[in-house]
Amino acid sequence: MRRRTFLSVGAAGVSLGLSGCAGLSRAPSAHVIVVGGGLAGATAVQTLRRWDPRLTITLVERQDRFVSCPMSNLVIAGARSLDDLTLSYDALERRHIRRVQATLEHLDADRRRVHLSTGDTLSYDRLILAPGVDFRFESIEGLAQAHAQGLALHAWKAGPETLQLHQQLRAMPEGGVFALSIPRAPYRCPPGPYERASLVAQFLKAHKPRAKVLILDANPDIVAKKALFLQAWNTLYPGLIEHRPHSEVTAFDAATTRARLSDGTWIQADVWNIIPPHQAAHATRSLRPDAAQWVRVDFRTFESTVAPGVHVIGDATEAAPRMPKSGFMAHNHAKVAADAVLALLTDQPINETPILMNTCYSFVSDQQAMRVSSVHKWSGDQRTLLPVPQAGGTSSRHSPEEGALAWDWAQNLWHDALG
């Protein structure tokens, strides 16, 4: 194993002292490390570079290519290919963003160092963690084994499982049941499971019209865009989708491919798609005291409330009220965090009035989509981001126009992060 150590000049601790001389800046060698090259992390490195050409930036990412979670339900239904959703990291390297293909093994926030799976140790002046989520397979008895055997895929991180689930859908018997299990909120992409159910239903209607989609929802009701989804299901796929609330899967029996619900009943299905409960990814463990599942941050800076110098963005954060774990939101987190990191590196005031937006598009067929939007502003009284009451809302109904906008949105989001 290679062992190398990069040590950069630690400029973060150098205070200017000459408060009037804003032209004085920190040493040009200030080093920001971003861990995680998903929508949050990739947007962060690109934004840091756009706003500061002199910064030394390293992206630590396990994969050699980016595969988008947004739009990946279209791949499961056979309406898009995984290639349509896959982008390279080459553009980052052209902008002198160093990329290390590795995972974070250990964070030493006191000494401002990260130890990586490659054996490297990197020093930083500011660290941004954008590691996404881990799945808590252990919370459902028998799931880890069933998942490893391909009997209960989640396909909730886009990649090989996305294609595997598409193949299982194609191979499903006529008149079969596709069962989709949704964990209790919060989870990544609140409307995502219902979008998936819609797209699977469209596939079944065309190819296996006697088959059914069964949604086993751990939540008491449809979590997002309920009226819009019900309208779409009733008009496009009447009788094809059954939604069962309060139906948490607690165990899976690989031998009989049955799942047990919290009320003790066993359910049989032909294809099982079990989305396990989530928590913030392992890289954030030292930032989550008392075994908390999500990372608490100051939403003005996205700095961890327990580890100075460490910022956390994207799905790993403990959400502010009504703030979804979405790709759009992760992108907006990255913008606010990038500005805060640059301000804190140069001892400048932080932006006390962040404003973030969100829009989640959901496809209900390969052509038609609808959306939900919100705007979130910092409340000095409540010390968090709060949704602006008079802002936000949903589409009036699904439409091909919004389907086209949804695809353009994704293309642009990918470009802003990776183009």
Partner 1 sequence: MPLRLHPHPCVFGRPNGRSAHLRGWVCPILGLALALTGLRAHAAAPSPDTPLSERQDRTWSASCAACHPASATAPASRIPPLAGRDAESTYRTLLAFKQGQRHDATVMPQLVRGYTDEELLRIARHLGRQPTR
The residue ranges that bind partner 1 (CB under 8 A) are 16, 19-20, 22-23, 25-26, 47, 50-55, 328, 331-332, 335-336, 339, 342-343, 345-357, 359, 371, 373-377, 380, 388, 390-393, 395, 401-402, 404-405, 408-409, 411-413, 415-416, 419
Give the nearer residue to partner 1 in terms of CB position, either 141 or 347: 347
Peptide bond into 186 cis (omega under 30): yes
* DSSP element (H, E) containing 94: helix 90-94
Distance in Å, CB of 67 to partner 1, minimum: 18
Give the nearer residue to partner 1 in terms of CB position, either 17 or 264: 17
Give the nearer residue to partner 1 in terms of CB position, either 87 or 254: 87
For residues 302 and 311, the answer to whether their CB atoms sit within 8 Å is yes
CA 394 to chain centre: 21
Give the nearer residue to partner 1 in terms of CB position, either 92 or 336: 336
Distances (CA, A) of 30 to 5, 26, 97, 105: 16, 7, 13, 23
Distance in Å, CB of 162 to partner 1, minimum: 22
Distance in Å, CB of 337 to partner 1, minimum: 10
Q: What are phi and psi of 143, to 5 degrees?
A: -70, -40
Give the nearer residue to partner 1 in terms of CB position, either 57 or 143: 57
Give the nearer residue to partner 1 in terms of CB position, either 201 or 369: 369
- CA–CA separation, 173 and 208 (whole Å): 8
Distance in Å, CB of 172 to partner 1, minimum: 35
* Dihedral sign (CA 212, 218, 221, 224): negative
Q: What is the token pair recorded at 332?
A: 């907006």
Residue 350 CA neighbour count, 13 Å, CB half: 18
- CA–CA separation, 380 and 42 (whole Å): 29
- CA–CA separation, 102 and 317 (whole Å): 22
Distance in Å, CB of 32 to partner 1, minimum: 11
Distance in Å, CB of 51 to partner 1, minimum: 5
* Residues in the chain, total: 419
Distance in Å, CB of 316 to partner 1, minimum: 19
Give the nearer residue to partner 1 in terms of CB position, either 148 or 404: 404
Ordered DSSP codes for 21-41:
-TT----TT-EEEEE--SHHH
